[in-house]
Structure 1
């Protein structure tokens, strides 16, 4: 009897234990289910956010594509207009060349005739103006030519090119007062476009003469090979440049001094032509005066 009672009690206790365990399991399942529901809800919210971001990103990409297409079309139009302008300048410079050459010829004949000091001064001024105009047109022609045509590479003597550029400037006021110093090895040669490099040298030497020192004008041109590059520097002992002027010196039509009587194209064209030749140009203020250095590749592409 006692055995049966003990067995019955044991069964009852075990049953309650199992019921409680089942209840606990159900509670855990409910908790897990609630967690899964919350996770699913959070996942759905994140998915909706990502979809919204995707739509915004797609719209932004479409807008960027439209802007890029517009910019490409604008750039193509500007390049076309720029090429047309280059061709116009190139043709105009050739058209003006004939009357200027004729005027220079007439001035040369006038110089051979006896004339009063006043008339001689007038003729001298006309001669100077015509040479400046001729140089400007030639520079514009060469500049546009460099933009429109292929470069013509040939091996040239740097010393001879510098000497030639210098001799073409004898008409400049004060040329005969300047002490020139050319420090270039006669055997130094490079393969480049001689006409364009000559124009760069001429422009730099012109500036050095114009902004020369009044009492003891001095211009020094140096050239050497440094690290597989040709470095040419033109130095003077003139008034130099302020930091502000140096920052604007290569801007088109910029004239940073009252002595600037040109068009403001000199250093602008120097930079553009030097870049066309694959090089760089740098300005350096000296203790007195200015140094302009151009660096060109020894080997062209």
Structure 2
């Protein structure tokens, strides 16, 4: 359109030329009139477009004002709801704090109850075991001696259960104190310490590791608890009825700063339906007198204390396998 305006200006300037003939002047004027008419037509078209755009802009503006009003109303509603929500959150937070305080108090009372009850029961059980020993010396009747043996056995089991409960109670409140130690050495020591168990002499123990010494940084006492309970569980659950040589195979892997220990043994098969139950307190997979049902529960609790995990990988007639995974405390928070 700017070209048309420039052309009109040039033709108008041409009409001012005094040297034009009458015929040239008429032709120039005629072209000027046509260009001007064409320009007016474009102006009318643009005006119509402008009017339409103006109407659309007016409509958009009205909608924007409407939306703005709705937005302001929504903001006011949100502000009101936020205030109500803040009040509810504040109330809920207060309720949760009160509930947490009550829970801590209840937990503390329960810990004290378990501790006191266990200690209070240890005395009578010890006296009962002593009486059974004395009675076995003095009583000659075979049936009475059989009953005394059963009473003594039951009392001994109760004593073991109480010791386990006391340790579990202490472990729950224990804070990990990490240090560096040789895992291989500690595992061998823990296995030798279990020589008093009845199945110990029937087992071939084998330890496999990629290097001779595996140094690791974690709480050594809690670590020893985990290894002791896993090995003790394996020894106690050796299948005496099976006509085969029993074994415990332990593998130690150090991956970066993490430690993984695989314990495999050929013992009593754990049914797959019980996989999710074996780490529950007092759950027994077999009616074995030496077991208290606390071994795997304590193992899992101790593993959690070290930010690790212990899982049952498989259990068949040929092999049962547990996996223990522990991270080094060098890269972990020391808060239990």
Q: Same fold (TM over 0.5)?
A: yes
Matches of 1:190 and 1:100, distance apart in 2: 40
1:208 aligns with 2:237: no
Deviations, residues 68-102 of structure 1 (Å, cap 9, x unaligned):
33223212321221122112212222222233333
2:304 corresponds, among 275, 278, 282, to 275
Q: Report whether the alignment pairs 1:83 with 2:108.
A: yes
Give the superposition deviation at 1:292.
2.3
8 Å CA contact retained: 2:271, 2:315: no
Contact 2:191 2:231 (8 Å CA) reproduced: no
Q: Decide which structure has the larger Cα Rg and report it.
A: 2
Aligned match of 1:259 in 280, 287, 300?
A: 287
Q: Contact 1:221–1:232 at 8 Å: present in 2 too?
A: no
Unaligned runs of 5+ in 1: 1-16
Q: How far apart in 2 are the matches of 1:90 and 1:36?
A: 76
Normalization by structure 1: what TM-score?
0.71
User: Structure 1 CA distance, aligned partners of 2:54 and 2:253?
Assistant: 85
User: Deviations 1:152-199 (Å, cap 9, x if unpaired)?
Assistant: 6675732112221x23434xxxx3674242527896676665654454
Q: CA deviation at 1:281?
A: 0.9
Contact 1:233–1:292 under 8 Å retained in 2:
yes
Aligned to 1:226: 254
Residue 116 of structure 2 is aligned to residue 95 of structure 1: no
CA distance in 2, matches of 1:54, 1:111: 82
Q: Does 1:122 align with 2:147?
A: yes
Q: Select which of 176, 185, 207 maps to 1:183.
A: 207
Distance 1:191 1:110 in 2: 51
TM score, norm. by length of structure 2:
0.64
- Describe the shift of the 1:233–1:90 C-alpha distance in structure 2 as closer, same or farther (beyond 3 A): farther
Following superposition, the deviation at residue 245 of structure 1 comes to 1.3
Residues 176, 183 of structure 1: alpha-carbon distance in 2 compared, 3 angstrom cutoff: closer
State the partner residue of 2:325. 295
Higher alpha-carbon deviation: 199-208 or 80-89? 199-208
State how many pairs are aligned: 278
Please provide the CA RMSD for this pair: 4.1
After superposition, what is the alpha-carbon deviation per residue over 1:91-118, rounded to whole angstroms, capped at 9, x for unaligned? Answer: 2222222333333344445566785654
Cα gap change, 1:94 to 1:168, in 2 (>3 Å): farther
Aligned to 1:3: none
1:134 corresponds to which of 159, 184, 199: 159
